[in-house]
């Protein structure tokens, strides 16, 4: 199958292998496929829906719905798709598929889709070898237009050895490209008015089995991303600051800003998908990090300053993404300030500059990237901040376009790199044009820059 231009619906159920679905999504996109995602409630405990929404640039179909939810998502999502992949497929969803139970987005889409369905099981070896799972897999192999991929044997996430490991994303893509999967049309009785119906295709044989993928893409162990030696960030550690800080005025009031943390989550997920060990120092925020990220929670800028300087010695890359308050009240009241409706004057003092202080402690082999949010004279202000900080690069973002910036999945940005020519005494700054893109695109640019700097360090 040529994946270019194909519409792929990716169903993710709740197993530790769910993080590999992020990698699969990116591989499918690199082949030219358009991907949308549906998730079980359990899957959201392993990977945050925001990660998939950022990667796919489309809202995720969840049990509790989204702001963009429609009443017939369980029909619309599979009707849109040319192919339905369920990766990973746990024992629970496999049982639902086999028994005709449809009570979550993944099983609802399985029930209503008419396109080819490919299922990749992943579970503990004892579960995989249980009579119930064996029976359910045998039943699914008899379904029309349904392929069940084999689960390779190897070291599982739980430490046991045996069958039940998820087929690697590269293997799944290799199988899809070598398979003859027809694109089944929507049933005539379900076709929307005015919607064209593709010519009928010959269905795949009942009980079809997948081709053995090329041995060059086979791996033998179920490993967390940071332990996968094939990924470019293997053995490297990144420390990211995230969210906003809160500077107390009194026990119930504080100075803060509107940062949601979405950009930091996209950055953490992208570093994780590239094999880095990811740690975060996070202030208050609404977005949630995917599983596998080590999070230190703080409140104030001084708390973040202390945590970063303590943890940075273990990091290869530092990304200062948090929206840190520049100032704090010089004196915070110990009791709530009474409302007298009279004028209140707050005396402020500057918070420590976390970016500059971390650069002062920077090792020669470390990479440090700062952030700058500007609303006017973007490039000039960002270039000056980069020069003063001494960072390797600065991500300039400007939340001035409609439906972008704080709380949104898109942002106007550019990555400004510091370059020091051999014959120059002063730091030179490269200032590319700003562009509108998703926060996951922004994150990938930061990861690519970091990998390039580490390689040439």
The whole-number pLDDT of residue 216 equals 28
Give the pLDDT confidence score for residue 39 in this predicted structure. 94
The pLDDT score that the predictor gives to residue 254 is 92
Residue ranges of the chain whose pLDDT lies below 50: 67-68, 183-224, 401-407, 422-425
Residues 6+ away with beta carbon under 8 Å from 436:
401, 404, 410, 411, 412
**Annotated domain spans of the chain:** 7-223, 227-455
278-313 burial: b if 16+ Cβ within 10 Å, else e: bbbbbbbbebbbbebbeebebbbbebbbebbeebbe
Q: Do domains 7-223 and 227-455 have the same CATH topology?
A: yes
In this prediction, residue 73 carries a pLDDT of 65
> Annotated catalytic, 113?
no
d(CA 290, CA 269): 7
Instruction: Please identify which of the residues 99, 113, 158, 321 carries the catalytic annotation.
Output: 158
Cα–Cα separations (whole angstroms), residue 337 to 300, 313, 325, 340, 346: 20, 41, 21, 9, 12
| Global model pTM greater than 0.75 | no
- Which residue is listed with tokens 């998939």? 52
The CATH number for 7-223, chosen from 3.40.50.300, 1.10.645.10, 3.90.78.10, 3.40.50.1950, is 3.40.50.1950
pLDDT, position 188: 33
Nearest in space to 295 (alpha carbons), one of 284, 425, 359:
284
Per residue in 373-420, pLDDT (tens digit) is 876 777 778 888 898 999 999 999 876 544 444 445 578 898 998 875
- Note the pLDDT of residue 212: 31
Domain 227-455 fold:
Rossmann fold (3.40.50)
Residue reference for tokens 């026990």:
251
pLDDT value, residue 328? 94
């Amino acid at each position: 199958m040529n994946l270019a231009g194909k519409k792929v619906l990716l169903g993710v159920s709740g197993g530790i292998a769910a993080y590999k679905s992020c990698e699969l999504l990116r591989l499918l996109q690199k082949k030219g496929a358009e991907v949308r995602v549906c998730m079980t409630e359990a899957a959201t405990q392993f990977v945050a829906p925001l990660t998939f929404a950022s990667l796919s640039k489309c809202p995720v179909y969840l049990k509790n719905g989204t702001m963009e939810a429609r009443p017939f998502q369980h029909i619309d999502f599979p009707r849109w798709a040319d192919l339905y992949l369920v990766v990973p497929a746990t024992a629970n969803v496999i049982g639902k598929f086999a028994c005709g139970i449809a009570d979550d987005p993944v099983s609802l889409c399985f029930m209503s889709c008419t396109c080819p369905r490919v299922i990749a099981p992943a579970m503990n070896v004892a579960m995989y070898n249980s009579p119930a799972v064996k029976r359910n897999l045998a039943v699914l192999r008899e379904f029309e237009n349904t392929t069940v991929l084999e689960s390779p044997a190897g070291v599982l996430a739980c430490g046991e050895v045996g069958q039940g490991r998820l087929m690697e994303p590269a293997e799944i893509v290799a199988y899809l490209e070598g398979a003859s999967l027809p694109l089944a049309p929507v049933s005539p009785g379900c076709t929307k008015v005015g919607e064209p119906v593709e010519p009928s295709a010959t269905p795949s044989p009942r009980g079809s089995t997948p081709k053995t993928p090329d041995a060059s893409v086979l791996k033998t162990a179920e490993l967390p991303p940071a332990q996968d030696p094939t990924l470019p960030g293997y053995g490297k550690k990144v420390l990211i600051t995230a969210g906003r800080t809160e500077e107390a005025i009194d026990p119930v009031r504080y100075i803060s800003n509107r940062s949601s943390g979405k950009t930091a989550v996209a950055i953490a997920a992208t570093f994780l998908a590239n094999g880095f060990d990811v740690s975060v120092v996070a202030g208050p925020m609404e977005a949630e990090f995917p599983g596998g990220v080590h999070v230190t929670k703080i409140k104030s800028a001084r708390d973040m300053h202390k945590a970063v300087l303590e943890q940075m010695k273990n990091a290869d890359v530092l990304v200062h993404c948090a929206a840190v308050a520049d100032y704090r009240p010089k004196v915070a009241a110990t009791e709530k300030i009474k409302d007298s409706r009279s004028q209140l004057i707050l005396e402020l003092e500057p918070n420590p500059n976390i970016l500059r202080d971390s650069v002062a402690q920077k090792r020669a082999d470390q990479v440090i990237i700062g952030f700058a949010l500007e609303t006017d004279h973007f490039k000039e202000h960002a270039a000056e901040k980069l020069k003063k900080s001494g960072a390797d690069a600065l991500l300039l973002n400007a939340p001035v376009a409609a439906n972008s910036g704080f709380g949104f999945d898109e942002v106007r940005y550019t990555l400004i790199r510091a370059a020091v020519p051999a014959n120059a005494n002063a730091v030179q700054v490269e200032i590319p044009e700003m562009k509108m893109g998703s926060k996951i695109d922004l994150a990938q640019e930061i990861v690519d820059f970091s990998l390039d700097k580490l390689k040439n360090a």
